[in-house]
C-alpha cells in the first residue's frame, strides 16, 4: 500500500464519492489514464466520475478500490461509524494492556491513512498509534509521530485532542534528557479537564498526573491522584496490572513523606494480588519496594534477601529502556543493603555496575557514585564529593526522587560526623536534612 503524499493535507472536504476517489488517486500519484486502464474505460469517464457527473455502481467501485489499494477503506458514513467504533475498541485494548491485539487492530485500520480528506480520523488513528508506542516503551518513535501530526490538531475531535494531550504529557515526562514536568502536567490536566468523549475513561491518567506531581516535588498532591486511580481500578478487579501499578506509585509517595508502615501494608496487598499470576513485573516491583522498606527499617539483611529474589523474579531485559530503569532500581537497593551490612567491597562493586548501567543519565550516575563513596568515608575526597557535589546537585533538580536521595546522604553524613565527634558538622548535616525534608513536603511554588 502506497502512503499518501504529504501535500494532500490541503485537500478540501469531498462533496461526493467521485471527489473522494479523485483525492485518493492524486495522493497516491496515480494518473487518470492508469485508473481508466484498470477500470477498462476512457479517461473522460474517469474525469466525469471524479466530477460527479457519472454515478459509480458497486462493480465499478470494487474495481476502483482494488486499483487504489483501499479495499477496506471506509468511504461511506456507516463504514466510518464502524471504523470509529473499532478505533475506540483499540484504545480499550491499550487501556487493558492487550498490546498485541491492539497492534493487530491498528494494522487493519491503517487504510484510513490513504484517505487524505479524513483529517480527523487520521489524527485520531495516529494518536491511538502513539499511545501504543508509549505503552511499548517506544518513546522516541512516539514523540516523533505526535509532533509530526500537530498540524491536524485544530479541527480534531474531542477524543483525538484528549489523546494528543495525554500523549504529549507522556512523551515530555519520559524524556531521558530535557524532562519538563511542568509542561507535561499542563498536558495531562488539559486532557482531564476536556474529558474524553466517546472514549472509555482510563484511570491511568490519574496515575500520570500523580507521577508528574511526585517527580516535580508535590508528593502530597500526588497521593490524591493515586488514590483516585486506585478507587477507579478497584471496580475493575480484572485489571490487576494497573491496580498493582497504581498502588506501587502510591507506595513511592509514602516513602517520601515517611509513612513506611502504610507503605508496607500496601506492598503486601500488591504481593497478594500478583503472586503466582502472569503479572511477574509488578510482583518483582513489589518485592523491590519491600526490600527497600526493610533496609529503611534497619533490617538490611532481610532487604538484601528480598532484593535478590526480586532480581531473579524480574529477569530484567537491560537492552530496553524500562528494563534498565527497573534493574537500576534493584542495584541501588542492593548496594545500600550491602553498605549497611558493612560489606563495602561488594557494595562498591554493585554501585559500579549500576553506574555503568545508567551511563549517560547524569543524575543516576551521581547517585551510584555517591553510594560508592559511602563505602570509604575515611577518604576525605569521598566526603567532599558527597557533601559538595552530590547533595547540592541533587537538591538543585527540585525533583522529589533526587531530593530524597540527597536527604539520605545528609543523614548518613550526620551519623558519620557524630561517630567522629564532629558535632558542628553533624548539626549542619542535620539542619540540611531538615530543610530538604521540608522542601519535599512543600514542593516548588510554581505549580498550584
pLDDT-derived band at 13, boundaries 50, 70, 90: low
d(CA 189, CA 173): 13
Q: Which are the contacts of 389, defined by CB distance < 8 A and separation ≥ 6? A: 366
Decide whether 1-71 matches 76-202 in CATH topology.
no
Angle 344-357/362-374 helices, nearest 10 degrees? 170
pLDDT tens figures, 182-203: 899 999 999 999 999 999 998 8
Class of residue 149 by CB neighbours under 10 A (exposed 0-12, middle 13-18, buried 19+): buried
pLDDT at 8: 37
Lowest mean pLDDT among 32-41, 108-117, 233-242, 262-271: 233-242
Instruction: Reply yes or no on whether the pLDDT at 337 is more than 70.
Output: yes
* Res 257: pLDDT: 86
Cα dist from 373 to 33, 343, 368, 444, whole Å: 75, 13, 9, 30
Q: Answer for the pair 375, 387: CB distance below 8 angstroms, yes or no.
A: no
What DSSP assignment string belongs to 288-330? HHHHHHHHHTT-HHHHHHHHHHHHHHH---TTSHHHHHHHHHH
pLDDT band at 446 (very low <50, low <70, confident <90, very high): low
Average pLDDT (197-216) is 91
Q: Determine phi and psi for 240, rounding to 5 degrees.
A: -65, -40
Q: Which of 380-384, 399-403, 441-445 has the highest mean pLDDT?
A: 380-384
**pLDDT at residue 137, rounded to an integer:** 85
Are 230 and 243 contacting, i.e. CB atoms less than 8 angstroms apart? yes
For 94, the grid coordinates are 491499550
DSSP category for residue 115:
-
Q: How far apart are CA 192 and CA 6, in angstroms?
A: 32
At residue 357, the pLDDT reads 93
Tell me the domain boundaries of the chain.
1-71, 76-202, 203-278, 299-375, 379-448
Please identify which residue in the block is written with the cell numbers 483516585.
228
Mean pLDDT across 297-324? 89
The more confidently predicted of residues 239 and 191 is 191
pLDDT at 238: 55
Cβ atoms 440, 404 nearer than 8 A: yes
203-278 to CATH, choices 3.40.50.300, 1.10.150.120, 1.10.3720.10, 1.25.40.10: 1.25.40.10
Question: CB–CB of 87/128 below 8 Å?
Answer: yes
Instruction: Kindly state the average pLDDT of the residues 314-339.
Output: 88
CA nearest to 392, candidates 410, 375, 377? 410
* Domain 76-202 in this protein, CATH class: mainly alpha
pLDDT at 10 over 50: no
Retrieve residue 193's grid coordinates: 479537564
Residue with cell 472536504: 13
**Verdict on whether the full-model pTM lies above 0.75:** yes
CATH topology of domain 1-71: 434 Repressor (Amino-terminal Domain) (1.10.260)
Q: Give the lowest-confidence range in 48-52, 140-144, 145-149, 440-444.
A: 440-444
The mean pLDDT of the chain is 90
Of all residues in the chain, the percent with pLDDT exceeding 90 is 71
pLDDT, residue 1, reads 39
The whole-angstrom distance between residue 203's C-alpha and the CA centroid of its chain comes to 14
**Cβ contacts of 242 within 8 Å, gap of 6 or more:** 95, 97, 203, 204, 207, 229, 233, 236
170 and 209 in contact (C-beta within 8 Å)?
no
Q: Quote the pLDDT of residue 178.
A: 63
Tens of pLDDT, residue by residue over 55-81, are: 889 999 999 999 999 999 999 999 999
The pLDDT value given to residue 9: 43
Has residue 256 got a pLDDT over 70? yes
* pLDDT for the residue numbered 239: 73
pLDDT of residue 219: 86
In which band, very low, low, confident or very high, does the pLDDT at 418 lie, cut at 50, 70 and 90? very high
Residue in 274, 293, 294 with CA at minimum distance from that of residue 284: 274
Write the pLDDT tens digit of every residue in 84-140. Answer: 999 999 999 998 889 999 999 999 999 999 999 999 999 999 999 999 999 898 989
Q: What pLDDT shows up at residue 177?
A: 61
Mapped onto helix, strand or coil, the DSSP state of residue 410 is helix
Amino acid at each position: 500500500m502506497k502512503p499518501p503524499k504529504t501535500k494532500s493535507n490541503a485537500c478540501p472536504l469531498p462533496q461526493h464519492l467521485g471527489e473522494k476517489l479523485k483525492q485518493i488517486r492524486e495522493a497516491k500519484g496515480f494518473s487518470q489514464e492508469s485508473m481508466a486502464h484498470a477500470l477498462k474505460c476512457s479517461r473522460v469517464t474517469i474525469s466525469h466520475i471524479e466530477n460527479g457527473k457519472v454515478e459509480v455502481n458497486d462493480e465499478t467501485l470494487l474495481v476502483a478500490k482494488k486499483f487504489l489499494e483501499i479495499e477496506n477503506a471506509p468511504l461511506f458514513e456507516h463504514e466510518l461509524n464502524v471504523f470509529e467504533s473499532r478505533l475506540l475498541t483499540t484504545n480499550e485494548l491499550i487501556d487493558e494492556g492487550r498490546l498485541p491485539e491492539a497492534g493487530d487492530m491498528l494494522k487493519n485500520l491503517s487504510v484510513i491513512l490513504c484517505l487524505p480528506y479524513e483529517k480527523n480520523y487520521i489524527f485520531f488513528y495516529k494518536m491511538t498509534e502513539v499511545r501504543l508506542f508509549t505503552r511499548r516503551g517506544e518513546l522516541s518513535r512516539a514523540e516523533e509521530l505526535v509532533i509530526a501530526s500537530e498540524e491536524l490538531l485544530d479541527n480534531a475531535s474531542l477524543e483525538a485532542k484528549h489523546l494528543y494531550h495525554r500523549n504529549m504529557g507522556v512523551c515530555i515526562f519520559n524524556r531521558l534528557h530535557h524532562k519538563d514536568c511542568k509542561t507535561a502536567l499542563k498536558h495531562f490536566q488539559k486532557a482531564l479537564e476536556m474529558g474524553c468523549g466517546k472514549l472509555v475513561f482510563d484511570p491511568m491518567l490519574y496515575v500520570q498526573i500523580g507521577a508528574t506531581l511526585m517527580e516535580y516535588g508535590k508528593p502530597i498532591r500526588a497521593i490524591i491522584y493515586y488514590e483516585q486511580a486506585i478507587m477507579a481500578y478497584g471496580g475493575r478487579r480484572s485489571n490487576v496490572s494497573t491496580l498493582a501499578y497504581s498502588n506501587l506509585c502510591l507506595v513511592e509517595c509514602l516513602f517520601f513523606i515517611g509513612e513506611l508502615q502504610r507503605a508496607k501494608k500496601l506492598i503486601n496487598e500488591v504481593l497478594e494480588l500478583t503472586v503466582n499470576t502472569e503479572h511477574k513485573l509488578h510482583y518483582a516491583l513489589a518485592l523491590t519496594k519491600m526490600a527497600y522498606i526493610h533496609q529503611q527499617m534497619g533490617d538490611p539483611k532481610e532487604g538484601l534477601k528480598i532484593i535478590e529474589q526480586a532480581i531473579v523474579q524480574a529477569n530484567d531485559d537491560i537492552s530496553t529502556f524500562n528494563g534498565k530503569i527497573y534493574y537500576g532500581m534493584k542495584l541501588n537497593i542492593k548496594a545500600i543493603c550491602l553498605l549497611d551490612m558493612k560489606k563495602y567491597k561488594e557494595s562498591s562493586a554493585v554501585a559500579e555496575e549500576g553506574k555503568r548501567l545508567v551511563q549517560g543519565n547524569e543524575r543516576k550516575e551521581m547517585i551510584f557514585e555517591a553510594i560508592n563513596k559511602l563505602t570509604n568515608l575515611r577518604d576525605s575526597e569521598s566526603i567532599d564529593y558527597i557533601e559538595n557535589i552530590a547533595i547540592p546537585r541533587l537538591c538543585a533538580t527540585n525533583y522529589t526522587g533526587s531530593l530524597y536521595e540527597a536527604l539520605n546522604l545528609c543523614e548518613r553524613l550526620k551519623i558519620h560526623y557524630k561517630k567522629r565527634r564532629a558535632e558542628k558538622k553533624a548539626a549542619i548535616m542535620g539542619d540540611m536534612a531538615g530543610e530538604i525534608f521540608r522542601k519535599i513536603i512543600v514542593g516548588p511554588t510554581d505549580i498550584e
